[in-house]
Amino acid sequence: MADEKKAAKERETIDSFTDFGNMYNFKKKFSYSYKTEAGLTPDIVREISEKKHEPKWMLDFRLKSLDLFYKIEYPNWAPDISGLDMDNIVTYVRPNTHMKASWDDIPDDIKDTFDRLGIPEAEKTSLAGVGAQYDSEVVYHSIQDELVQQGVIYTDFDSALEKYEDIVKAHFMKLVPPTDHKFAALHGAVWSGGSYVYVPEGVDVSIPLQSYFRLNAPGAGQFEHTMIIVEKGAKVHFIEGCSAPKYNVANLHAGCVELFIGDDASLTYSTIENWSKNMYNLNTKRAIVGKNGTINWVTGSFGSHTSCLYPMSILQGEGAHCEFTGVTFAGKGQYLDTGSKVVHNAPHTTSNINSKSISKSGGVCIYRGSVIINPKAEGAKANVSCESLMLDEISQSDTIPAIIVKNDNIDLGHEAKIGRISDEAVFYLMSRGLSEDEARAMLVRGFVEPVSKALPLEYAVEMNNLINLELKGSLK
């Protein structure tokens, strides 16, 4: 009885924490210069392609992908997406501006959005390049001159298709083919916007680049395509931020990220995802890594109604390395099915997956992962660690990893833990003067520390703010 009371009290405390996202949940009057009708037909796909003045091969690619989208079934293991009515998703919304290289040239309401998200400010202080997408198109792009001189390219995807058609054609949806799954096919059909990054051999881009994706139009989809090519020995850190105001209709995000990392090259790909809670985030990210190259994923997933997101690393060259550090935080009404996939295809490849999840107020967190060590990957090492924190007894947390080992000369370790914040830890902190809420918030922050540590300071602060908003009663 006493236990029940205590549990009810705990739930009350946690429930009373405000729903976070207020700082992202401001709406702008929905204005646009062009948008497609809701739904999905070959005519709509033709229309998008035509408006963008694309080459024919791209139109053909889109139509072929659309065909696949109709044919491929939605997987049986994946979360319920019946709330998503494809006939009502607007696939293309062109904002009221063309791409600009100066914030001053951007219409006030759009600029105000990015101001409030702190993008221009961050650009001044800590970024080497910025891209900003509003609905379906990129409205702002800039990069430091110094990097341009070194041959670094950072531009919106439409410009890339125009200026670097051959290289785009050679890479576009080669890592994530439209046959991969239903929403990859959809992406192939209706993609628009996104960023293109090219870092030439040996160039070290020491300051991060950031693209920010804002979806303002209600009932719309965002399908941006991000392609990053890091040549031999080059190094870059790319940050992706996403948010949207909350509407009562479902929004869909089915972006696609393709990362090509050369020999001895290194890419850090950081994401703070804070889509609004009407968002279906069915995103696909994949990297292929050359000899002694490194992909380093850092991801914080806080938003969305439903997420399916499993960044995949294909370790193709000898000694290639993958590091994955992720935290997922599901609150009321959220179903976040996230994780990481690694394929070891070459000798002495190594991977290290570190995943944390927090479930509260009925939220559902699922870690779904895979590690495959193929016969060629002799001397491969893989390590997977999953920790799940349950903040109350009405939430849910599942761990669904799968590991396939096909050669003997490997070293594999996997650990998973599920539990709640220990009463002993709360008491210990309270004995040092912290209130119960403060103690819990501190323990939750400690729990996600590996992720905040891996982020640049400003983003670690942003992530901590998100957690503090989620767990009101943060430290003074």
- Which residues lie near another protein (CB under 8 A)? 3, 7, 75-77, 341, 368, 370, 372, 375, 388, 390-420, 422-425, 427-436, 438-439, 442-443, 445-450, 475-476
| Minimum separation from the CB atom of position 343 to another protein (A) | 10
Instruction: List all residues 6 or more positions away from 12 whose beta carbon is below 8 Å from its beta carbon.
Output: none
Tokens of 128: 């080497």
Q: Residue 32 or 183: which CB sits closer to another protein?
A: 183
Q: Residue 186 or 434: which CB sits closer to another protein?
A: 434
Q: Residue 63 or 425: which CB sits closer to another protein?
A: 425
The answer to whether 401 and 416 have CB atoms below 8 angstroms apart is yes
| Minimum separation from the CB atom of position 359 to another protein (A) | 8
Strands 221-222 and 251-253 come out as parallel
| Minimum separation from the CB atom of position 351 to another protein (A) | 14
**Looking at the DSSP assignment, which residues form a beta bridge with residue 296?**
268, 323
Q: Residue 80 or 415: which CB sits closer to another protein?
A: 415
Helix (H) or strand (E) run with residue 9 in it: helix 2-16
Q: Residue 86 or 410: which CB sits closer to another protein?
A: 410
Tokens of 325: 């550090």
Helix (H, G, I), strand (E, B) or coil at 418: strand
Going from the C-alpha of 33 to that of each of 136, 215, 224, the distances in angstroms are: 11, 15, 18
| Minimum separation from the CB atom of position 15 to another protein (A) | 14
Nearest to 20 by CA among 374, 276, 355: 276
Instruction: List all residues 6 or more positions away from 307 whose beta carbon is below 8 Å from its beta carbon.
Output: 273, 281, 282, 283, 301, 328, 334, 335, 336, 337, 338
| Minimum separation from the CB atom of position 414 to another protein (A) | 5
Q: For residues 107 and 95, what is the distance between their CA atoms, to the nearest angstrom?
A: 10
Q: For residues 410 and 407, what is the distance between their CA atoms, to the nearest angstrom?
A: 7
| Minimum separation from the CB atom of position 164 to another protein (A) | 31
Q: Residue 159 or 407: which CB sits closer to another protein?
A: 407
| Minimum separation from the CB atom of position 95 to another protein (A) | 36
Q: Residue 42 or 75: which CB sits closer to another protein?
A: 75
| Minimum separation from the CB atom of position 10 to another protein (A) | 9
Tokens of 156: 């919106």
CB burial of residue 352 (10 Å; 0-12, 13-18, 19+): middle
Count Cα atoms within 13 angstroms, Cβ side, for 253: 33
Q: For residues 255 and 214, what is the distance between their CA atoms, to the nearest angstrom?
A: 13
Q: Residue 87 or 424: which CB sits closer to another protein?
A: 424
| Minimum separation from the CB atom of position 333 to another protein (A) | 16
Q: Residue 257 or 390: which CB sits closer to another protein?
A: 390
Q: Residue 116 or 406: which CB sits closer to another protein?
A: 406
| Minimum separation from the CB atom of position 423 to another protein (A) | 8
Helix (H) or strand (E) run with residue 401 in it: strand 396-405
The answer to whether 273 and 281 have CB atoms below 8 angstroms apart is yes
CB burial of residue 298 (10 Å; 0-12, 13-18, 19+): buried
